[in-house]
Amino acid sequence: MGYIFCLSILLQNYGYFCYTIHISKKIFHIIKIFVEDSTLFVIFACINVLLFMIEIVTLWIIILFTSFLEAQNLRVDEVLEGMSKGTQKGLAIEFPEVSEDFLLKEFKDWVDKFKGKTKIDKKNNEVFSDDAFIKEVSANTIDIYAKVINKGKAQKLVMFVDLGGAFLNTQMHADKYKIMEGHLLEFGKSVIKNDLKNRLEQAEKVLKNYEKEKKDLEQEQSKSLKNIEEAKNTIKKEEENIEANKKKQAEKEKQIMEQTKIVENLRNEYQKVKK
């Protein structure tokens, strides 16, 4: 319960944190629209990048902390489960938020070290390692089976060990069970490590994509700033044209007034002659 409580609090705070950063980015974006000074613009851009990097680093810390808690929470339980050889005693270990396919593949890769002939039995949805050899457990080869049981947001992997005549259990093989329990815990840690590695790789891909998008936005921004400068120059030129036009209109109005007087005088003289 402590693990779940810590994780829920951490994720909740991360949500609030991301929301705060999102609002801050919006504010800085609005401010940048009205900022013309290049120095201030660079300052706002740097703050924006810093907020983005804080967000990514915080996500990585959560991933690392979650995986650390998961590793601390690992345990192996003896269970009675159905499998391809009937209902047998097995060793169970539970993992939150990993896929069934990932878990089966991880187990297949891990159990290969015991030199058995390993395959995934798709019919029974099991991993089967034939004639594996673990000298601490048996002088003879053994058969190892594993299946994954979906537990909602978690996956439970159950490993069955056929010693040849009996399946490994605590009542009949306490010492050997303890050895296989240690092996399964070792497997559990490798699953968490590899899952973390996969999530980090995905996070890095997202980060790389964000960086590319940011670069595209910077180029778009530079283009917009250039367009603004060109527009400013055009506006300035048009304003100068307007002022020049006003002067010409004033001169033309003066000419019209003078010409109007000439026309009136000539009209009056014509009227006199016409009579």
**Residues 28-66 pLDDT 10s:** 555 555 555 555 555 655 566 566 566 665 555 555 545
CA angle 67, 72, 74 (to 5 degrees): 95
Q: What is the pLDDT of residues 174-224, one digit of tens each?
A: 999 999 999 999 999 999 999 989 989 999 999 999 999 999 999 999 999
pTM of the model: 0.58
Same domain, residue pair 117 and 177: yes
Greatest extent of the chain over all pairs of C-alpha atoms, in Å: 147
Provide, rounded to the nearest whole percent, the portion of the chain with pLDDT above 90.
63
Q: Please give the helix or strand (H or E) that residue 161 lies within, else none.
A: strand 154-162
Same-domain check for residues 65 and 150 = no
- Cβ(115)–Cβ(133) under 8 Å? yes
Domain C-terminal end among 198, 218, 247: 198
Better-scored residue on pLDDT, 29 or 226: 226
240 assigned to some structural domain: no
For residue 121, is it within any domain?
yes
In a domain, 237, yes or no: no
On whether both 22 and 88 belong to a single domain, the answer is no
**How far apart, in whole angstroms, are the C-alpha atoms of residue 228 and residue 145?**
69
Is residue 263 a part of any domain in this protein? no
Task: Please say which residue of 16, 43, 72 terminates a domain.
Answer: 72
The predicted-structure confidence for 70-109, as pLDDT tens digits, reads as follows 545 789 999 999 999 999 999 999 998 788 889 999 999 9
How many folded domains does the chain comprise?
2
Residue 56 belongs to what H/E stretch? Answer: helix 38-72
User: For residue 16, what are the domain limits?
Assistant: 2-72
Q: Is the pLDDT of residue 8 over 70?
A: no
Q: Are residues 54 and 122 in the same domain?
A: no
Residues 25, 120 within the same domain: no
Q: Examine the domain organization and report whether 44 and 111 are in the same domain.
A: no
